[in-house]
């Protein structure tokens, strides 16, 4: 067979691993809100239990999307992708085991979720990048097909896990419902191990002592802010003190590392520019002093990252709304009539947490519909579909989806007074709107970030993209603490925040000057 038409031998193992891992994650996630409400409800009133569950689940999501910064550093600079994925997958398995065994207690639940956040978040930036590592110039034409299969298996696993695991929780309890995702994660780890001799492995740079210093300094600097959440039960003085200690340790380790050998990463270029502003000639930009030291591309990196990060700052609000289909939307579904007549299967009573399966199902339908039906028509009509315009449209759609659920909540409460319920089939409408928004914002945003960042800064900007998800979930966790907000008011609050963020994003996008770095990366 022509090598250009041959798929790399490691690809089936990566896709198999991803399918099992996504099943495990989304299966666990599907029941998390319902389980937390039940657990917290043993000591709290229903509304208080729902608010606490919303807070805790979004703090967990924030951790899942914050830890990729650590995983990327470990992978790129110390262990390499395969070893990072394998060892953090074992941590991931331990997290599922903890949920199944000790998750019946509040702190046992937190322990398991912390391990899953570290494992899932840590491998997140490595797996998709490992796919790209398997290809060379000879067979790069097959990359698109593989990424399509990769994306399909993610949604395939998510869809079936969201349907199955809530049934296991109802029929067999939390031990089985959390245990089955754990088994799938263990299978994912075994599949990855089986492919260990099939993968093309890109060695970490610099590795060794320098890689270890990079890792420890990055973790310490990361914990400057992360410690504020891990020490949430302590006094403000203690929290600030721990954060300051982490920053001091990170700064010292960073200085030691740079003293041995300077790298050209984002932080190194930024610090060098700050220290050498006196050498800048009149009229030159802030980072111009770094050009002679690190080269043109490295010097262009930090300002490019900062420009993109400013634009992306508003995207964090999108994630605050989108991730609520695993919390507040399940809460709303639980107050609706879950008995429906379905084609083929007839009358069926669904679980509230199963409704979220609409999202991955719709993703698999909406992407081809937009690509083959909507975009070509708009192009023929003369409408220029830039990535930023797609993202702005998606953000306004997201605000509209929350207007719909707010109006639904008002109707639910009105009928509840008469002893009636709204059918859960009405949830199809907001899911259709927000899933379309997800495709416009998430998929387009990743493509935009990748093309706008110089080669040396692509991992950095992906980290900032994922941090936007973290900030969005922290916003939800914060607002969930306001017990005076009814569920309807909660939805209206986020609809308003999203509309404002979309408007600001549109203004920032209008003034953003695009510059692609794809050709420079070849």
**What are the tens digits of pLDDT across the range 88-113?**
999 999 999 999 999 999 999 999 99
Q: How many CB atoms lie within 10 A of CB 128?
A: 16
Where helices occur in 261-386 by DSSP H, the ranges are 266-275, 289-294, 296-312, 315-322, 328-333, 358-369, 375-380
The phi-psi region of residue 295 (left if phi > 0; otherwise alpha if psi is between -120 and 50; otherwise beta) is: left
Higher pLDDT, 221 or 35: 35
Residue 43: which CATH number? 1.20.1250.20
- Host domain of residue 474: 304-522
- Predicted confidence band at 62 (pLDDT cuts at 50, 70, 90)? very high
For residue 518, pLDDT over 90 is answered with no
Residues 187 and 320 in one domain: no
Residue 256: its pLDDT value, please? Answer: 93
Tokens of 397: 């759609």
Higher pLDDT, 133 or 297: 133
Please enumerate in sequence order all residues whose Cβ is within 8 A of that of 44, keeping only pairs 6 or more positions apart, or say none. Answer: 52
- Predicted confidence band at 452 (pLDDT cuts at 50, 70, 90)? confident
End of a domain among 144, 179, 203?
Answer: 203
Write b or e for each residue in 232-264: b if 16 or more Cβ atoms lie within 10 A of its Cβ, otherwise e. eeeeeeebeebbeebbebbeebbeebbeeeebb
The region of weakest confidence among 133-147, 166-180, 208-222, 383-397 is 133-147
Over its C-alpha atoms, the chain yields an Rg (Å, rounded) of 24
Residue 520: its pLDDT value, please? Answer: 39
For residue 392, pLDDT over 80 is answered with yes
Higher pLDDT, 126 or 107: 107
- Predicted confidence band at 273 (pLDDT cuts at 50, 70, 90)? confident
Residues 197 and 312 in one domain: no
> 206 preceded by cis ω (within 30°)?
yes
Judge whether 434 lies within some domain.
yes
Residue 141: its pLDDT value, please? Answer: 72
Q: What is the pTM of this model?
A: 0.89
Residue 519: its pLDDT value, please? Answer: 40
Q: How many CB atoms lie within 10 A of CB 45?
A: 11
Residue 329: its pLDDT value, please? Answer: 96
Tokens of 298: 């490295």
Among the listed residues 160, 163, 6, 197, the one whose alpha carbon sits nearest the alpha carbon of residue 86: 197
Judge whether 124 lies within some domain.
yes
Q: Taking a C-beta distance cutoff of 8 angstroms, is the pair 415, 365 a contact?
A: no
**What are the tens digits of pLDDT across the range 131-144?**
777 877 677 777 76
- What is the number of domains present in the chain? 2
Q: C-alpha angle with apex 118: 79 to 154, nearest 5 degrees?
A: 90
Tokens of 117: 């956040």
Residues 194 and 340 in one domain: no
The burial class, CB within 10 Å (0-12 / 13-18 / 19+), for 201 is middle
End of a domain among 146, 173, 203?
Answer: 203
Judge whether 290 lies within some domain.
no
For residue 498, pLDDT over 60 is answered with yes
Instruction: Give the whole-angstrom CA distance, residue 102 versus residue 114.
Output: 13
End of a domain among 203, 218, 252?
Answer: 203
Judge whether 329 lies within some domain.
yes
Report the mean per-residue pLDDT for the chain. 88
Residues 323 and 197 in one domain: no
For residue 521, pLDDT over 60 is answered with no
What is the rounded average pLDDT of the residues 43-54?
Answer: 94
For residue 399, pLDDT over 60 is answered with yes
DSSP letter at 348 equals E
What is the rounded average pLDDT of the residues 377-391?
Answer: 87
Judge whether 211 lies within some domain.
no
Q: What percent of the chain has pLDDT over 90?
A: 53
Please enumerate in sequence order all residues whose Cβ is within 8 A of that of 95, keeping only pairs 6 or more positions apart, or say none. Answer: 112, 113, 114, 115, 116, 117, 118, 119
What is the rounded average pLDDT of the residues 353-357?
Answer: 95
Residue 421: its pLDDT value, please? Answer: 96
Judge whether 138 lies within some domain.
yes
Judge whether 411 lies within some domain.
yes
Higher pLDDT, 384 or 400: 400
What is the rounded average pLDDT of the residues 468-483?
Answer: 88
For residue 40, pLDDT over 80 is answered with yes
Judge whether 296 lies within some domain.
no
Higher pLDDT, 299 or 134: 134
Tokens of 461: 């900007």
- Predicted confidence band at 269 (pLDDT cuts at 50, 70, 90)? confident
Instruction: Give the whole-angstrom CA distance, residue 263 versus residue 446.
Output: 26
Tokens of 475: 């916003």
Among the listed residues 139, 135, 136, the one whose alpha carbon sits nearest the alpha carbon of residue 4: 139
Tokens of 443: 């998929």
Residue 522: its pLDDT value, please? Answer: 37
Sequential DSSP letters for 382-396 = T----HHHHHHHHHH
Long-range (24+ apart) CB contacts under 8 A made by 227-233 are: 229/59, 229/62, 229/63
């Amino acid at each position: 067979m022509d090598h250009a038409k041959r798929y790399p031998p490691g690809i089936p193992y990566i896709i198999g691993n991803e399918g099992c891992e996504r099943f495990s994650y989304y299966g666990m996630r599907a029941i998390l809100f319902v389980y937390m409400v039940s657990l917290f409800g043993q000591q709290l009133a229903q509304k208080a239990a729902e608010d606490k569950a919303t807070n805790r689940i979004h703090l967990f999501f924030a951790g899942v999307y914050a830890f990729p910064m650590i995983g990327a550093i470990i992978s790129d600079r110390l262990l390499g992708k395969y070893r990072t994925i394998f060892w953090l997958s074992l941590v991931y398995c331990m997290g599922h085991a903890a949920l199944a065994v000790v998750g019946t207690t509040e702190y046992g639940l937190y322990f398991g979720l912390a391990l899953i956040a570290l494992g899932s978040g840590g491998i997140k930036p490595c797996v998709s990048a490992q796919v790209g590592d398997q290809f060379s110039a000879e067979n790069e034409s097959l990359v698109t097909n593989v990424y399509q299969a990769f994306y399909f298996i993610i949604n395939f696993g998510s869809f079936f896990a969201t349907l199955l695991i809530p049934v296991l929780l109802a029929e067999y309890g939390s031990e089985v419902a959390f245990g089955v995702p754990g088994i799938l994660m263990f299978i994912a780890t075994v599949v990855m191990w089986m492919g260990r001799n099939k993968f093309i492995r890109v060695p970490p740079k610099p590795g060794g002592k320098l890689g270890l210093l990079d890792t420890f300094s990055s973790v310490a600097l990361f914990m400057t802010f992360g410690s504020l959440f891990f020490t949430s039960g302590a006094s403000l003085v203690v929290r600030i003190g721990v954060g300051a200690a982490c920053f001091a340790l990170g700064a010292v380790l960073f200085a030691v590392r740079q003293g041995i050998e300077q790298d050209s990463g984002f932080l190194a270029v930024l610090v060098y520019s700050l220290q050498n502003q006196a050498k800048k000639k009149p009229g030159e930009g802030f980072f111009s002093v770094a050009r002679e030291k690190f080269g043109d591309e490295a010097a262009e990196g930090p300002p490019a990252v900062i420009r993109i990060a400013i634009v992306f700052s508003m995207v964090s609000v999108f994630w605050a709304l989108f991730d609520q289909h695993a919390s507040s939307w399940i809460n709303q579904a639980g107050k609706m009539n879950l008995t429906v007549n379905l084609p083929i299967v007839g009358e069926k009573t669904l679980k509230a947490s199963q409704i979220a399966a609409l999202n991955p199902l719709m993703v698999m339908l909406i992407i081809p519909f937009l690509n083959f039906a909507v975009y070509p028509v708009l192009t023929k009509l003369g409408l220029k579909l830039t990535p930023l315009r797609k993202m702005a449209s998606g953000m306004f759609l997201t605000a509209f989806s929350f207007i719909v659920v707010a109006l639904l909540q008002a109707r639910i409460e009105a009928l509840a007074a008469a002893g009636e319920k709204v059918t859960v089939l009405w949830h199809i409408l907001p899911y259709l709107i927000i899933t379309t928004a997800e495709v416009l914002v998430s998929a387009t945003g990743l493509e935009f970030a990748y093309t706008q960042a110089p080669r040396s800064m692509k991992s950095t900007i992906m980290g900032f993209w994922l941090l936007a998800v973290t900030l969005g979930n922290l916003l939800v966790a914060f607002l969930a603490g306001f017990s005076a907000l009814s569920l309807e008011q909660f939805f209206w609050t986020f609809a308003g925040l999203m509309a404002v963020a979309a408007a600001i994003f549109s203004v920032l996008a209008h003034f953003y000057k695009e510059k692609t770095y794809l050709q420079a990366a070849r």
